[in-house]
Structure 1
Amino acid sequence: MRPVAFDVPVEVAFDYLVEPRNRPAWQSSLRRVEHVRGEPRVGQTWVDVTGPGLRPAMETTRLDRPAVWTERGTWRAVEATLTLRFAPSADGCVVTAEASVGGLGVWRLLGPLVARAADLAVPRDLQRAARILSARAT
């Protein structure tokens, strides 16, 4: 996925994006998050409640502030992973996302379609997050 520019420091973007409670404001597929356990850290868990009604169990699997964050979501026989990589830039920072989707049975066949949808949606969602943080900074 292509990098998305943020006009805030890398630590600001990182802290905002890795906090599950902030996600419904910028992630288009989410309606809300539930059962958030603790503060952002490896092992933090929560449940995403999506527009279509899916409720994947989520977990932070990597958190190297302010450089890399990874989450894993599982729902039925589907597992998805999202990694965000953060790098400072002259005007703030850039965030690059990597997503993968896998599954068993019929879900294995749907995985590439879901991954392609994520390739389109995640950059737009990150652009929305960048606008939110930019508005807060002014």
Structure 2
Amino acid sequence: MPSGSLVIGAPLVEVFDFLSTPACRPEWQSSLRRVEDVAPAEPGVGQSWIDVTAAGVRPRMETTEHVPPTRWAERGTWGPFAAWLRLDLAPTDGGTEVRWELDLTATGPAGVLARVLKQAAPLAVASDLRRAARLLETRQTR
């Protein structure tokens, strides 16, 4: 599975809360326009929502792991596709290390496209997390 890590210059709890809250995601996830139908309102395993993307894809998302402030994971499904993202967070001298891992699969003929998307997905995840880092670090300097 593709994976990576980065350090965000912000406190662990703040980073966890920002990255694991669906309503914050359009701020840092470049492909996302908004989230809809978040339920329940309180974060936790089983919380679900719909990502409304710029491409018009609307995956149903669900939190599958919620261990504040060190681990969060989600699963998204749309048509024949399924994607998983897990974030592991740990405090560092410079703020918070975020380690991520993802997977993307599809059934039937879409499996070929899933393999291509899986190759590109790490670049998108890394870019989005760098954007989240910039936002969180800017808040620290105010």
TM-score range, shorter chain: over 0.9
Q: Percent identity?
A: 46
Q: Which structure 1 residue ranges, 4+ long, deviate > 2 Å from structure 2?
A: none
Match of 1:123 in 2: 126
CA distance in structure 2 between the aligned counterparts of 1:114 and 1:85, rounded to whole angstroms: 23
| Structure 2 portions without partners, runs of 5+ | none
CA distance in structure 2 between the aligned counterparts of 1:60 and 1:129, rounded to whole angstroms: 19
Match of 1:19 in 2: 21
Q: Which amino acid aligns with 2:9?
A: D
TM-score normalised by the chain length of structure 2: 0.94
Match of 1:30 in 2: 32
State the shift of 1:2 in Å. 2.5
| Structure 1 portions without partners, runs of 5+ | none
Q: Which amino acid aligns with 2:37?
A: H
Equivalenced residues, count: 138
Q: Which amino acid aligns with 1:81?
A: W
TM-score normalised by the chain length of structure 1: 0.96
CA contact (8 A) 2:63 2:75 kept: yes
After superposing the two structures, state which structure 1 stretch, 15-24 or 100-109, moved more.
100-109
CA distance in structure 2 between the aligned counterparts of 1:92 and 1:98, rounded to whole angstroms: 20
CA contact (8 A) 1:46 1:59 kept: yes
Q: Which amino acid aligns with 1:60?
A: T
RMSD (CA atoms): 0.9
